[in-house]
Amino acid sequence: MYPFSRMTTDLIDLRAARSADCDALAGIHSEAWLGAYRGVLHGVDLQKMISRRGSSWWQGALARGVDIKILSIANIPAGYATYGPCRLRGTGMEGEIYELYLKPEYQGLGFGRALFDHVRETLRNRNMPGLAVQVLSDNEPARAFYKAVGGRLAAKSWYRLGGRRLELSIYAWPGPGS
> Is residue 111 within 8 Å of residue 28, measured between CB atoms?
no
Which residues of the chain carry a pLDDT beneath 50? 1-8
Which structural domains are found in the chain, ordered by start? 9-173 (3.40.630.30)
Q: What is the pLDDT of residue 49?
A: 83
The pTM for the full model equals: 0.88
Q: What is the pLDDT of residue 1?
A: 39
The Cα 19–Cα 120 span in angstroms is 23
The Cα 134–Cα 157 span in angstroms is 9
Q: What is the pLDDT of residue 9?
A: 54
Q: What is the pLDDT of residue 178?
A: 60
Sign of the CA dihedral running 88, 53, 103, 114: negative
SS3 percent helix, strand, coil of the chain, rounded to 5, is 40, 35, 30
Q: What is the pLDDT of residue 105?
A: 95
Q: What is the pLDDT of residue 82?
A: 98
Query: Distance of CA 21 to CAs 26, 69, 85, Å?
Result: 9, 10, 23
The Cα 25–Cα 52 span in angstroms is 12
Q: What is the pLDDT of residue 46?
A: 78
Query: Distance of CA 7 to CAs 3, 12, 63, 133, Å?
Result: 8, 11, 37, 32
